[in-house]
Amino acid sequence: MKDQILEILSRSNVFLTGGGGVGKSYLTASIIRHYKENFKNVIILGSTGISAVSLGGVSLHSFFKFGYCKDYEELRRLDYRQKDKLSKLRNMLDVCDLLVIDEISMVSSNVMEMIRYRLLTSKFKGRVLIVGDFYQLPPVQKEQNESKLFNFLYAFNSSAWEDMKFTNVELLVSKRTNDLKFYEILSRLRVGELDDEMMAYIESLRVDAIEPDSETSVLFGRNAEAEMLNQKRLLALNAPLEISNSDVLVMDENLDKKEFEKWANTLNISRNLEMKIGAKIIFTSNKWGEYYNGEQGKIMQILKENGAISSVIVQKDSGEICEIEKCAYNFCALNLNEDEIEENVQASLYQFPFKLAYALTIHKSQGMSINSLICNINHIFAKGQLYVALSRAVNPKNLKLFYDKKSDFRQHLRKVVKIDDEVKKFYQENVFLHIKESL
């Protein structure tokens, strides 16, 4: 599969898509590794801090020096004040062989136009690999009319998308679940389908109450609800409360502190992590051979040095016991050293790579594979949110839906199984190369 994508990249740009759990991130990482092993310059960008960190890249906005601009007219005005920065940026783009942008569904059409503007004002001759699923969570629209020039929400609505002439590749085989019936239901739900058979299947997952002492993770549409349940469960544990504050080590005196804080706030960690012995936790990142994003466990012991938490002993749900130390989340800038693009770590944020597992928001669960799950669908509002929630599940036997509103459950389902007509039209009207073989 990797060889197929590499062959396509040799002649065109690529849009790599597919539903949750089909292996987009794994395949992208293997492509990046191939380029680097062959001494090619790769620039890896994430539309969010989470996606940037997971692939070992930097923030898209930070790299392209977009500031707080909403469109490229504002960007051109900003550029008069940052000519030195732009000169360095162009030099890097001039030697870039592969530009990777992850979580494209969170990138608006305006930002896509701004990306093209940056590429056109450099001598960029490399390939662009864009990764994501437009059926999942859409870009945040901060204003009703974000731009005088572009009223379109999605990256594919931009003329920049058309100009880049992507070869569209869709992965179809689930790596998250082996239950074919469940995967078929999810695949149809992803594209907005909902018939009586599907409704009956989904309704069979419904529960009317969440057990007060349940340790199964609950997904919520709203952050306040998730925070409330986590605090309630933590308070119920008969053990001393411990707090791990994140540590920040600044290595570059030119660090833009506002940009750093903006990046840090998008990471899937708690800056002030509350924990107790016996608390249920969920890992929020991957570390090969140790833990994966969505894996769960229980805190068995909290170790300290000089009064501060140094490590945590966790018994994973698999039974394996491991000692977890704080992880370094690096805020990087890219620099050009002769003809080689290098990462310069400007600051590192140190925190444990887990959160309380009693409750999570659907938004922060993206990319996770969760073994046991309850989805609270009372307050689901964004397009694609129900699909994102259900597709986190590894096994439908350990998946439940909680709903206790007065309105009819099936009526509520019809309301929340919604997709954007623009997204549906995009996937229907464009040609996709479908890949069904394993990774």
For residue range 80-123, what is the model confidence (pLDDT) as tens digits? 888 888 999 999 999 999 999 999 999 999 999 999 999 999 99
Query: What value does the CA radius of gyration of the chain take, rounded to a whole number of Å?
Result: 22
For residues 159, 160, 162 and 167, what is the CA-based torsion angle, rounded to 10 degrees?
A: -160
For residue 376, give every residue at least 6 positions away whose Cβ sits within 8 Å of its Cβ, in sequence order, or none: 210, 218, 219, 220, 221, 225, 402, 403
For residue 433, give every residue at least 6 positions away whose Cβ sits within 8 Å of its Cβ, in sequence order, or none: 8, 167, 168, 169, 170
Mean pLDDT along residues 125-143: 85
- What percent of the chain stands above pLDDT 70? 96
Is the residue at 44 inside a domain? yes
Is the residue at 219 inside a domain? no
Is the residue at 71 inside a domain? yes
User: Do 345 and 32 touch, CB atoms closer than 8 A?
Assistant: no
pLDDT of residue 93: 97
Is the residue at 416 inside a domain? no
Residue carrying the six token digits 């544990």: 237
Is the residue at 346 inside a domain? no
Q: Is the pLDDT of residue 142 over 60?
A: no
What is the spatial distance between Cα 324 and Cα 281, in angstroms, rounded to a whole number? 12
Residue type, 417: V
**Domain of 144, in residue numbers:** 2-175+422-435
pLDDT of residue 145: 45
pLDDT of residue 380: 87
Is the residue at 367 inside a domain? no
Is the residue at 343 inside a domain? no
User: Do 244 and 351 touch, CB atoms closer than 8 A?
Assistant: yes
Structure tokens of 139?
Answer: 């870009």
Is the residue at 24 inside a domain? yes
- Note the pLDDT tens digit of each residue in 272-313: 999 999 999 999 998 888 999 999 999 999 999 999 999 999
How many residues are listed for the chain in this entry?
439
pTM > 0.75: yes or no: yes
> What total number of domains does the chain contain?
1
For the domain that residue 13 is a member of, what is the CATH number?
A: 3.40.50.300
What is the spatial distance between Cα 134 and Cα 231, in angstroms, rounded to a whole number? 33
Q: Is the pLDDT of residue 144 over 70?
A: no
